[in-house]
């Protein structure tokens, strides 16, 4: 079996509010939308799905780690669009340079790359 990726599903209280955040602030593109279920993509391989919360499936509480390059440049881009990440990108003890941001429902997205200089472009 070959695998080609995965698409985590985050529960959101309002699909349209969440979609504006992911598209307009974080730069995701909409791959498809079926009523209150949306497929998003960032770059070539980062897939993410949003699903309207329902009884027994509340919004928030999800977490996704997006592996990328140029994490510092991306941080600057989304800050210019009004994003309020939890902190600046920094080198972590686990070998990654990353930062985290929460969507309007409290789902956490972390963006990071290897902390090795040749693997991660730093401004």
CATH number of domain containing 100: 3.10.180.10
According to DSSP, residue 51 is labeled: E
As a whole number of angstroms, the distance between CA 16 and CA 20 comes to: 6
Residue 22: per-residue pLDDT = 97
Do the domain assignments include residue 35?
A: yes
Do the domain assignments include residue 68?
A: yes
Do the domain assignments include residue 66?
A: yes
Q: In the chain, what's the furthest Cα-to-Cα distance?
A: 47
Could you tell me the pLDDT band of residue 116, with boundaries at 50, 70 and 90? confident
- pTM score, whole prediction: 0.88
Cβ(46)–Cβ(57) under 8 Å? Answer: no
Domain of 88, in residue numbers: 9-114
Residue 100: per-residue pLDDT = 97
Could you tell me the CA-to-CA distances from 90 to 2, 9, 29, 69, 70 in Å, in that order?
A: 34, 27, 27, 14, 12
Do the domain assignments include residue 3?
A: no
C-alpha triplet 86, 88, 92: angle, nearest 5°: 95
- The total domain count for the chain is 1
Do the domain assignments include residue 119?
A: no
Output 59 or 122, whichever has higher pLDDT.
Answer: 59
Do the domain assignments include residue 76?
A: yes
Do the domain assignments include residue 64?
A: yes
Do the domain assignments include residue 121?
A: no
């Amino acid at each position: 079996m070959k695998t080609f990726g995965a698409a985590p599903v985050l529960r959101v209280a309002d699909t349209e509010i969440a979609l504006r955040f992911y598209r307009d602030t974080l730069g995701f593109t909409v791959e498809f939308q079926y009523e209150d279920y949306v497929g998003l993509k960032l770059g070539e391989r980062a897939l993410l799905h949003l699903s309207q919360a329902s009884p027994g499936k509340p919004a928030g509480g999800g977490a996704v780690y997006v592996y990328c390059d140029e994490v510092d440049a991306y941080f600057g881009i989304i800050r210019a669009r009004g994003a309020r990440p939890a902190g600046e990108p920094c080198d972590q003890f686990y070998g990654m340079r990353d930062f985290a941001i929460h969507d309007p429902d409290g789902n956490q997205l972390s963006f990071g790359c290897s902390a090795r200089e040749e693997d991660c472009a730093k401004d």
